[in-house]
Amino acid sequence: MGALSLSQVTKAFGKTEVIKGVDLTVNDGEFCVFVGPSGCGKSTLLRMIAGLEDVSGGDVMLDGVRINDLAPAKRELAMVFQTYALYPHLTVRENMGLALKQAGEPKAKIDASIARAAGMLALDPYLDRRPAELSGGQRQRVAIGRAIVRTPKLFLFDEPLSNLDAALRVATRIEIARLHRELGATMIYVTHDQVEAMTLADKIVVLRAGRVEQVGAPMELYNNPANTFVAGFIGSPQMNFLKSAAVGQQGETTGIRPEHLTIARDAGQIAGQVSHVEKLGGETLVYVRAEPHGLLTVRLFGEHDFAVDEAVWLTPDATRAFHFDANGARLR
Amino acid sequence: MSQSRSHTGRTIAAHAVLLTYTLIALFPVFVIVINSFKSRKAIFADPLALPMPENFDAVGYTTVLQQGHVVQYFANSLIVTVASLFFVLLFGAMAAFALSEYRFKGNMLMGLYLALGIMIPIRLGTVAILQMMVAAGLVNTRTALILVYTAQGLPLAVFILSEFMKTISDDLKNAGRIDGLSEYRIFFTLVLPLIRPAMATVAVFTMIPIWNDLWFPLILAPSEATKTITLGSQVFIGQFVTNWNAVLAALSLAIIPVLALYLIFSRQLISGITAGAVK
Ligand SMILES: Nc1ncnc2c1ncn2[C@@H]1O[C@H](COP(=O)(O)OP(=O)(O)O)[C@@H](O)[C@H]1O
Ligand SMILES: [Mg+2]
């Protein structure tokens, strides 16, 4: 069990309101990702769910029980931090067992839980080491193991991969996805990286400045963004925004993803000049300066040769275009 | 290449300055120690001569050690210094933790108020302190000295330690809260070990003035049973005759315990820095 619901949750530090009324439900067993730019309040919202920050207004409910005033340790949740936050004076085994020991569980049960978690994360060889003797990736696995040992109702992750290098980040991401399948537990995961959000989430919550912009499955957000903010945030490289008037489309702004623009040397709808080319092997990104729109990105499959300053023509796939009004809201 | 040479040049200059300073600072101590092993005549004939077989005389040490109470004086100094240090570090760290960890009304003002004592010498309040100690019946007790020295050491301790407290990761404390540790456990088992280097610094800064103090022992605890070694050494300094051998021997002996404490704390300092926190 682990169904979370927030209703009209707010948080103010002194006079500055940081979370401005969030409504949200996370179903049992769901992988929910909070995504948004730095400083939008993701960590604050997560810490409120954990009980590490007081809730200024609204209700936080776990399995139908209001937990606003419950101490963090009583909420049956576990948290994994960006900086790992392992106890430096304890061994890996003691780090993982501390919460159960505090809860007064019998030693046999603690040992069994540690063995199970260590098995899932291949941590057996390190159980008697101290955190200082582990690499960054190992430390983060221990932190994840510490969370698993408690068999919590709810897992909370606050940017757990940000301090790892790129290769380790992908490996740990896959590991977290596997753990979610194996444990079937409810997980809430905070990140500013939309790739992590897209690849892990059942449900993405896009936050901006303390408000929820849109909630949905990754492909729902990709195919059906509610406004220019979500459209620009989800998908990589970023969506292109064209001036509708200049391309004969409705609304103020027309959004078109880089993969839905075609490029040609002889003819097309938008004239432009190549300003930069990035060849990634499997795909080629061509950056084209086209007035009055600005810099547009075209994503091509395979290898392509374009010279910088070459004149080219772009054509958007009108069936895949999104239309937004002057306030950025989607026109349907 | 020229850069590396100027680098060496700067290193030499820095070491020259440091060495000069060390020599100047150690010179009086050196003079005290060498003269404590010489006969009275040799001390005045050539104060800078090293103790040699022909001028050697341990009469100072025998006088001091025969003077019965010296061991008691040492014990008093040690008890007062160690107990004051313990309370300064404990209460200083607790106050610093509360100030940097919890948001409450008047947090900033409270911090300023606690740090104010750095700028106001506690001796200005001597008369009031003496009246209070008389009223409380604490005159001529070591408790009186410990209370005063704790008050004297706290402002700097709170100030330095709260700066360090702010550098400790919130995540670590939050992990402890989620795992069900009490705030006391978080403070004692997670936070204190990480600020050990700062505690050692505070300990050294706090310890020296307490050990060397003559003022409060003279005013609050001059009885034979509660005299500290600094005050006790004064018996050899008379208005008309001063037993220089004994004074120098007593001062030399007084250096030893404080040196030992310093070595303990500086080891803590170094091991604290090299062990490092786990990110
Ligand atoms: N303890 C605090 N006191 C005051 N403001 C805070 C505090 N914690 C966070 N904030 C502010 O709240 C906003 C959201 O912070 P945070 O939740 O950490 O953002 P995110 O995790 O999305 O990057 C930021 O503008 C930050 O300055
Ligand atoms: Mg954050």
A19 C-alpha to center of ligand 1: Å?
A: 9
pLDDT at B26 > cutoff 80: yes
Task: Tell which residue, B32, B1, B16, has the closest CA to residue B247.
Answer: B32
- Asked if the structure places residue B6 within a domain, the reply is no
* A52 & A118 share domain: yes
* A219 & A241 share domain: no
- Overall number of domains in chain A: 2
Residue A135 at interface with chain B, using a CB cutoff of 8 Å: no
* A122 & A44 share domain: yes
The stretch A297-326 carries a mean pLDDT of 93
- Asked if the structure places residue B79 within a domain, the reply is yes
| Tokens, residue B263 | 């070595």
Cβ atoms within 10 Å of B44's Cβ, excluding its own = 11
Task: Tell which residue, B81, B21, B82, has the closest CA to residue B210.
Answer: B81
Band of pLDDT at residue B276, cut at 50, 70 and 90: very low
- Rounded CA-CA distance B49/B51 in Å is 6
A11 C-alpha to center of ligand 1: Å?
A: 10
Band of pLDDT at residue B277, cut at 50, 70 and 90: very low
Distances (CA, A) of A24 to A5, A197, A211, B135: 6, 17, 11, 64
- Asked if the structure places residue A93 within a domain, the reply is yes
- Asked if the structure places residue A331 within a domain, the reply is no
Residue A126: left (phi > 0), alpha (psi -120 to 50), or beta? alpha
Candidate from A9, A11, A15, A18 with most ligand 1 atoms within 8 A of CB, to mutate = A18
pLDDT at B123 > cutoff 70: yes
* A194 & A309 share domain: no
Q: What is the CATH number of the domain that holds B224?
A: 1.10.3720.10
Task: Give the distance from residue B125's alpha carbon to the nearest chain A alpha carbon, in angstroms.
Answer: 39
- Asked if the structure places residue B32 within a domain, the reply is no
Domain extent, residue A270, equals: 237-324
Q: What is the CATH number of the domain that holds A249?
A: 2.40.50.140
* A102 closest CB neighbour out of B169, B175, B181: B181
Answer yes or no: is the C-beta of A40 below 6 A from any ligand 1 atom: yes
Answer yes or no: is the C-beta of A145 below 6 A from any ligand 1 atom: no
Q: Among residues of chain B, what percentage have pLDDT more than 70? A: 94
Residue A131 at interface with chain B, using a CB cutoff of 8 Å: yes
Question: According to the model, what pLDDT value does residue A100 have?
Answer: 94
Residue B106: left (phi > 0), alpha (psi -120 to 50), or beta? left
A185 C-alpha to center of ligand 2: Å?
A: 23
- Asked if the structure places residue A330 within a domain, the reply is no
Answer yes or no: is the C-beta of A43 below 6 A from any ligand 1 atom: yes
- Asked if the structure places residue B37 within a domain, the reply is no
pLDDT digits (tens, 9 = 90+) for B180-190: 999 999 999 99
Q: Among residues of chain A, what percentage have pLDDT more than 90? A: 89
Amino acid type, B18? L
Answer yes or no: is the C-beta of A41 below 6 A from any ligand 1 atom: yes
* A131 closest CB neighbour out of B171, B179, B278: B278
Of A121-135, A147-161, B78-92, B230-244, the poorest mean pLDDT is in B230-244
* A217 & A291 share domain: no
Answer yes or no: is the C-beta of A39 below 6 A from any ligand 1 atom: yes
Question: According to the model, what pLDDT value does residue B53 have?
Answer: 84
Task: Give the distance from residue B183's alpha carbon to the nearest chain A alpha carbon, in angstroms.
Answer: 12
Answer yes or no: is the C-beta of A87 below 6 A from any ligand 1 atom: no
Question: According to the model, what pLDDT value does residue B258 have?
Answer: 84
Distances (CA, A) of A20 to A23, A35, A216, A251, A328: 10, 16, 20, 29, 20
- Asked if the structure places residue A193 within a domain, the reply is yes
Of A2-11, A76-85, A203-212, B247-256, the poorest mean pLDDT is in B247-256
**Tally of CA atoms within 13 A in the half-sphere of B139 that contains its CB:** 14
pLDDT at A29 > cutoff 70: yes
Cβ atoms within 10 Å of B170's Cβ, excluding its own = 14
Answer yes or no: is the C-beta of A18 below 6 A from any ligand 1 atom: yes
Task: Tell which residue, A128, A127, A160, has the closest CA to residue A43.
Answer: A160
Q: What is the CATH number of the domain that holds A212?
A: 3.40.50.300
Q: Among residues of chain A, what percentage have pLDDT more than 70? A: 100
pLDDT at B269 > cutoff 80: no
pLDDT at A109 > cutoff 50: yes
- Ligand 1: which residue has its CA nearest to atom 3? A13
* A55 & A196 share domain: yes
pLDDT digits (tens, 9 = 90+) for A240-281: 999 998 888 889 999 999 999 999 999 889 999 999 999 999
Q: What is the value of ipTM here, to two decimals?
A: 0.88
Q: What's the mean per-residue pLDDT of chain A?
A: 93
Contact B178 A79 (CB under 8 A): yes
pLDDT at B279 > cutoff 50: no
Task: Tell which residue, A215, A235, A202, A200, has the closest CA to residue A6.
Answer: A215
Give the dihedral sign, CA B77/B79/B83/B85.
positive
A32 C-alpha to center of ligand 2: Å?
A: 16
* A251 & A202 share domain: no
Of A238-242, B12-16, B111-115, B263-267, the poorest mean pLDDT is in B263-267
DSSP A235: S
Residue B111: left (phi > 0), alpha (psi -120 to 50), or beta? alpha
Candidate from A44, A49, A157 with most ligand 1 atoms within 8 A of CB, to mutate = A44
* A43 & A101 share domain: yes
- Asked if the structure places residue B43 within a domain, the reply is no
pLDDT at B70 > cutoff 90: no
Task: Give the distance from residue A39's alpha carbon to the nearest chain B alpha carbon, in angstroms.
Answer: 17
A94 C-alpha to center of ligand 2: Å?
A: 27
Listing DSSP states for B33-69 in one string gives: HHHTTB-HHHHHH-TTSPP-TTTB--HHHHHHHHSTT
Band of pLDDT at residue B278, cut at 50, 70 and 90: very low
Distances (CA, A) of A239 to A143, A236, A296, A326: 36, 8, 9, 17
Question: According to the model, what pLDDT value does residue B274 have?
Answer: 55
Residues near ion ligand 2 (CB < 5 Å) are A 43
Q: Among residues of chain B, what percentage have pLDDT more than 90? A: 48
- Overall number of domains in chain B: 1
Band of pLDDT at residue A227, cut at 50, 70 and 90: very high
* A115 & A260 share domain: no
Q: Is the peptide bond before A131 cis (omega within 30 degrees of 0)?
A: no
Q: Which domain-ending residue is among A227, A246, A277?
A: A227
Listing DSSP states for B186-248 in one string gives: IIIIIIHHHTHHHHHHHHHHHHHHHHH--HHHHHH--STTT--HHHHGGGGB-SS-B-HHHHH
Give the H/E segment covering residue A212.
strand A211-216
Burial of A259 (0-12, 13-18, 19+ CB in 10 A): middle
pLDDT digits (tens, 9 = 90+) for A36-62: 999 999 999 999 999 999 999 999 999
Q: What's the mean per-residue pLDDT of chain B?
A: 88
Question: According to the model, what pLDDT value does residue B271 have?
Answer: 64
The stretch B215-229 carries a mean pLDDT of 92
